[in-house]
Chain A
Amino acid sequence: MKSSVIVFPGSNCDRDVAVALEKFKIKNEMVWHNEASLPKSDLVVLPGGFSYGDYLRAGAIAGKSRIINDVIKHAKNGGLVLGICNGFQILIETGLLPGILLRNKNLKFLSKNVFVKVINTNNKFCSNYKNKKVIELPIAHNEGNYFADYKTLKNLEDKDLVVFKYCDMDGNINDVSNPNGSLNNIAGILNPEKNILGMMPHPERLIDPILSGKDGSIMFQSLKK
């Protein structure tokens, strides 16, 4: 398994995710946004952060960077793409995933650990979550409030493309357990071919029991398979 982490100016979880990938023996390379093409990779990660300061709209400007064309090509050829936080916002701005991420409902940046329910484990990213479907992960974002029109939303739900939903400790999905106002408590979605995942929570930040949990490691173990 080989991965590439794209580094945009203003990415700031690029090192964190590289550490996680390497910890689970996925051979990783950092790729500068201004490169014309990707090295040979099975997985491309768009990391969290504030690419281009999140100026204009989060992810908008990174969506226009040089490397993105090759990322799109990689995705269309069935290669795996994982967008975390700002990476999810970039996937949406490039049109690889539908909908939009609005500002959090309380209009504030939100950094805390939340519970997330794994809705779909039938994909390369989440297969190891079969035995643990309510997990704890940190979120840290200002624009994570997922919104889509009725048709798009229905399509996501009907085709089982919603992977993660915010929930409480016992797995209940409701308004109280929704930290940012996302429609249907959506925290992460797939494309119809299930090779592109965008998610707001940060699995790379919980890969060690000393960091108050390791539910994030399960994703990297799934990818390694």
Chain B
Amino acid sequence: MKISAIVTLKENVLDPQGKVVNQTLKNMGYSNITEVRQGKYFEIQLNENNKEKAKKIIDEICKKLLSNTIIEDYTINIKQ
């Protein structure tokens, strides 16, 4: 099974990278862009056919390794 996880900084945590990219895009003339947040994208292959079980495992690794839940949020997508 193929699963993706996206880890982003929480809404209220400063994202220095997103801030600089946003400012640069504005300088380049893209004036209608109001915010950019940068995150990390993971694609994970998993030997598991049960969707629920797979999701549980990915949820666990997101908590334990892929993100630091104090400053980051994550979303999981099952892609099959």
> Chain B residues with Cβ under 8 A from A64's Cβ?
24, 27-28
B28 touches A55 (CB 8 A): no
A53 touches B28 (CB 8 A): no
| A61 at interface by CB-CB < 8 Å | yes
CB-CB nearest in chain B for A34? B27
| A52 at interface by CB-CB < 8 Å | yes
Interface size class of A (residues with CB under 8 A): under 10
| B1 at interface by CB-CB < 8 Å | no
Query: In the assembly, what is the distance between CA of A120 and CA of B5, in Å?
Result: 47
CB-CB nearest in chain B for A9? B20
Binary A-proximity of B28-66 (CB < 8 A = 1, otherwise 0): 100000000010000000000000000000000000000
Query: In the assembly, what is the distance between CA of A55 and CA of B23, in Å?
Result: 12
Number of interface residues of B (CB under 8 A): 8
Binary B-proximity of A33-77 (CB < 8 A = 1, otherwise 0): 000000000000000000011011000010010000000000000
Query: In the assembly, what is the distance between CA of A53 and CA of B27, in Å?
Result: 17
A63 to chain B, nearest CB (A): 10
A56 touches B20 (CB 8 A): yes
> Chain B residues with Cβ under 8 A from A56's Cβ?
17, 20-21, 24, 38
> Chain B residues with Cβ under 8 A from A52's Cβ?
20, 24
B17 touches A53 (CB 8 A): yes
CB-CB nearest in chain A for B24? A61
A94 to chain B, nearest CB (A): 14
B1 to chain A, nearest CB (A): 28
Which of B20, B21, B27 has the most CB atoms of chain A within a 10 A radius of its CB? B20
B79 to chain A, nearest CB (A): 26
> Chain A residues with Cβ under 8 A from B21's Cβ?
55-56, 61
Which of B16, B24, B27, B38 has the most CB atoms of chain A within a 10 A radius of its CB? B24
B26 to chain A, nearest CB (A): 11
> Chain A residues with Cβ under 8 A from B20's Cβ?
52-53, 55-56, 61
Query: In the assembly, what is the distance between CA of A56 and CA of B21, in Å?
Result: 7
Query: In the assembly, what is the distance between CA of A55 and CA of B14, in Å?
Result: 14
> Chain B residues with Cβ under 8 A from A55's Cβ?
16-17, 20-21, 38
User: Which residues of A are interface residues toward B (Cβ below 8 A)?
Assistant: 52-53, 55-56, 61, 64
13 contacts between A and B (CB under 8 A): A53-B16, A55-B16, A55-B20, A55-B38, A56-B17, A56-B24, A56-B38, A61-B20, A61-B21, A61-B24, A64-B24, A64-B27, A64-B28
